[in-house]
Amino acid sequence: TPWCSALIDTKWFDELTGIAVGAIGSGQLRQTRIIRSTDGGLTWNIVWTGSRLREHCWKISFPDSDNGFVSIENLAGAGATYFLKSTDGGRTWQEQLATPGYVNCQGIGFVDESTGWIGGWNTGTAITTNGGASWTGGNFGYNVNRIRFLSTSLGYACGADVYKYVVAPSGVGDPPTTPTPALSRVRPNPFSGSTTIQYRVIEPGPVTLRVFDAQGRSVGNLVDATLGIGEFTATFHGEGLAAGTYFYELRTPAGAETGKLKLTR
């Protein structure tokens, strides 16, 4: 189009009014851009163009008709990361600084005007409870590319896995809860000799990784250390163990996760 060189996501409020996000320019000269239509897409107006190079808009989240958020992917892979916020239905946009360290932002999703998550490739997620003014570790997900809420009590995100956000009926009136952390991956699984558990630490502190058999007996203590933020791997060897299902338990400052290991012969 004459307004954008790349379009990545779109949001429509009714049959006539909508926005599309992406970039203008290409390669090293790419800049963020948002365009808006009020005639069903026949014509468009430019409502935002970024000032920095090597960035493009990626995903849109509007928890209501007024408040909207757009993630910005930093193609340079370094430096500060920003996102865009609108409080007037997408007519105007303001740029805000995202959480430090999340330079490759892609997925963004807000359950209401205050609480939302942001994620991206080679990163975990970050959460805000004040409309993006500040962010902390989001306690779920990895490589999160899209976050969508169907209501204030149900949402989904996809990345390395699919994640589900649920607020139980008894929790009405309580602050939204963060989805169960999904910090690990196992490859290969099933396995016959050994397998590698890859895990990510998003908050520094004590980390343990243990393996148990189906009767709950410990068969391996793979990690028991204080670790910083980053990605780590641990190898579990099945020699001397009977074929069957085993369970690993990963505990980090951000939360705990269990998973199955299938040993074959």
pLDDT tens digit string along 214-230? 777 889 999 999 998 88
d(CA 89, CA 239): 60
Q: Does the structure show a pLDDT above 60 at 153? A: yes
pLDDT tens digit string along 25-74? 988 899 999 999 999 999 999 999 999 999 999 999 999 999 999 999 98
Beta bridge partners of 79: none
Give me the pLDDT at residue 169, please.
54
Tell me the CATH number for domain 6-166: 2.130.10.10
Q: What are the structural domain ranges in the chain?
A: 6-166, 185-263
Domain range 185-263, CATH class: mainly beta
Q: Does the structure show a pLDDT above 70 at 119? A: yes
d(CA 203, CA 77): 21
Mean pLDDT taken over the chain: 86
pLDDT tens digit string along 182-220? 456 888 989 999 999 988 888 888 999 999 887 778 899
d(CA 15, CA 218): 59
Going by pLDDT thresholds of 50, 70 and 90, the confidence category of residue 105 is: confident
Q: Please, are residues 53 and 38 in contact by the beta-carbon 8 Å criterion?
A: no
